[in-house]
Homo-oligomer: A and B are copies of this chain.
Amino acid sequence: MLFNNVTIVGVGLISGSFALALKQKGLAKNIIGVSRTTASLNTALQLGIIDEALPLAEAVKKSDFIYVAIPVDATIAVMQQIMDMVTDKQIVADAGSTKLALCNALAQHHNRQQFVATHPMWGTEYSGPQAAVQDAFVGRCCVICEQEKSNSHALATVENIYKTLGMHLVYMDARSHDTHAAYVSHISHITSFALANTVLEKEKEENTIFELAGGGFESTVRLAKSNPAMWAPIFMQNKHNVLEVLNEHIHQLQKFKTSLEQNNPEALITLMKNANKISKILVKKQ
């Protein structure tokens, strides 16, 4: 057993799955949930995700390890409260989808070295404790940012947890993380939301969508079910990168448009053959 007491701040998809995995791997004896939402705490208790629910200060006080997974617009303020409270015996980590704003906010904190900035690259379009799943992180990648600013014990402990959960670790600075996350995660969500709106806007005969929509549509539009309250702050915090990728994406769509308008199937084929190269990347992953 690594920890007697672990606090998860936020009891949702990521923290819930993380808590289930800690228990399953025997890494935590008692898991404390902290949330503004009483209903989520009750659900998490019922599902056995947490063992008890406490206010933040009490939870932090008795915990060896505090894991924060809440919408990124709330993370900085909550994290500053936590960091003000912890001792050099306690370890803090977050799971946020943006890293630069948080890392910058905590850069000068006297307890900075107790904190490890992480982003486990896993998620689904669902949210809340009822969305938490066993084995969520297995085989996925976890980014650790600014590892040189965490003390070696805290870093090794967090690395050990993620490895035990089946993740492989990637290290990068927070700015690089946010750039890469815009390309491989944030833009996929915007595309999917926009595609859903496209179809909903134009197609008024819902029953026909429902009848005809095949696997391809479901696949590309799946992320459109994601939680706006989680994603708006991510897009806002990573605005610079997201806009850059979004502009490029619109530009790429316009190439398809122009090729069609010009009755140029060869140009379409060239665009698609280039896109086919994504196979190499996806195959390597498996």
What is the interface of chain A, defined by CB distance below 8 A to chain B?
Answer: 121-125, 140-141, 143, 168, 170, 172, 180-181, 183-185, 187-203, 206, 208-226, 228-229, 231-233, 235-236, 239, 242-250, 252-257, 260-261, 263, 265, 268-269, 271-282, 284-285
Contact = CB atoms under 8 A, between A and B. Distances in A.
B181 A281 contact: no
A196 to B, nearest CB: 4
A256 B196 contact: no
A253 B211 CA distance: 26
A250 B248 contact: no
B256 A193 contact: yes
- Report copies per complex: 2
B180 A221 contact: no
Contacts of A184: 199, 203, 209, 212-214, 217
Contact of A269 (B200, B229, B243, B277): B229
B212 A141 contact: yes
A285 B215 CA distance: 11
Given A210-B284, A243-B261, A250-B254, 10 more contacts: A184-B199, A184-B214, A188-B217, A190-B253, A191-B191, A198-B249, A206-B280, A225-B282, A233-B265, A235-B256
